[in-house]
Structure 1
Amino acid sequence: MTHLIPIPRQRRPRVLDLYCHRGGMGFGYHQAGFDVTGVDLDPDCATEYPFTFIHGDAIDYLLAHGHEYDLIHGSPPCQAYSPLNAYNHKTYPDLIAPTRAAMIRVGRPYVIENVEAARPELVEPTLLCGPMFGLRMYRHRLFETSFPLTPPTHPTHGPLCTRNGYLPTIERPFMTITGGRHSKAWQQAAAEAMGTPWITTVRGVCEAIPPAYARWIGEQALTHLTAGVVAA
């Protein structure tokens, strides 16, 4: 179906950033021209989230207020789909399907982001990676959207990465950014590589998505929003 979504000229379009963490995606949407509101169950996110922050359940807020926004973005927790879960044997919520159902019920254009291992849970996702946007890091993320995306060219993974926890070198100019007990110097270098210099914790950086991804998606979304019709 299609949604007619006129955007009044007197205001910027609004995006709802669900499971927002420290705002990597939110900042990219801001760069694309959106006013951003984030929702997360973790109250600590409020200390670094750079825009309006709502502490609460993402799906509950979406169902109550999603109609107030022009675009809905959701990054459900990825732990349920991560291969690392084969080792820690913990139970994590599987929130992709419930999030999608709520988005469709609200009837706004949407984006769902997750890791590569979640591909079976996503509908025709688009893959984005750091070198597509000139970033010195390989970070594959999948994006299901209710509007068409044609991704940038995906360069060959040629440059070498440092080991996780190590700073980049001339021989290994790309960073590996995953969790661990890392130094403050590593955290700062990782935040700069991601394009998220306001994030000051290792966990925050490791869970972030580069804003460049969201900026690109946001620009594609605006093309459809300003045309007046978005397919879903």
Structure 2
Amino acid sequence: MSKWRRYLYLLLDHSSKENYPLHRIDASTLFCPANQKITPTEIEDARLPAPFISFTASPTAEYGSRVLDFFTLFGRGEGEKKSLVAGADENGLTVMYDLARRTVHYQVGLNEPKDIDAVSLAVGDSLYVIERTPLLRRRCGFEALVYDGEQYNEHDESIWEWRWRRLEPPPYVLAPGYKPTPISAYTVVGGSDIWISTPDIGTYSFSTSAGTWSRAGKWGAPLPRPR
């Protein structure tokens, strides 16, 4: 079993208790050898291991709440190297944690805060985040957390810059008469294109290499198998 598949990371939403514990579970304890048979009476409940780390958001001045929205795993490289987890609070302040190195990265702010349950996808070395319901009034409802390769600490070669970059919204958001509609399905196609599907609007593709949108079809979710 590779190092990447050795652990299952489980992040719990304890927002009512103002914290988000992250548990690391040894995946080998979840499965039995292929030649071993078990009966239902042999299945036992087990407690979760102690939290690997816990996250807490700073309260906002207006509401005093401590809410975090977490995104998908991402990072530079393939497989086990994609070990970064990021979460943003209501002010758009992003905290990044490296599961492999067990280190917290410096905080970087979104260009504009996102609503809870935003769509997030890891493509290449970057993390892409778009509002679940894109709005015309948003200045930057679609952003990418990118690694720009510029060293900002000359005394530590392992520290590099991550930045949130503004991206163009889906073109239908700018169309006359657009009514805010939530994205119902999304996926990554070909390792570089982001597809999103919206009811009664269709499916659009974003090329992360070209930075442009195009309409993939008028059909909506579920997304068809790419040819």
Give the structure with higher Rg (CA). Answer: 2
More helix by proportion, 1 or 2?
A: 1
Higher relative contact order (CA 8 A, sep 6+): 1
Q: Give the shorter-chain TM-score range.
A: under 0.3
More strand per residue: 1 or 2?
A: 2
TM-score (norm 1): 0.26
Q: TM-score, normalised by structure 2?
A: 0.27
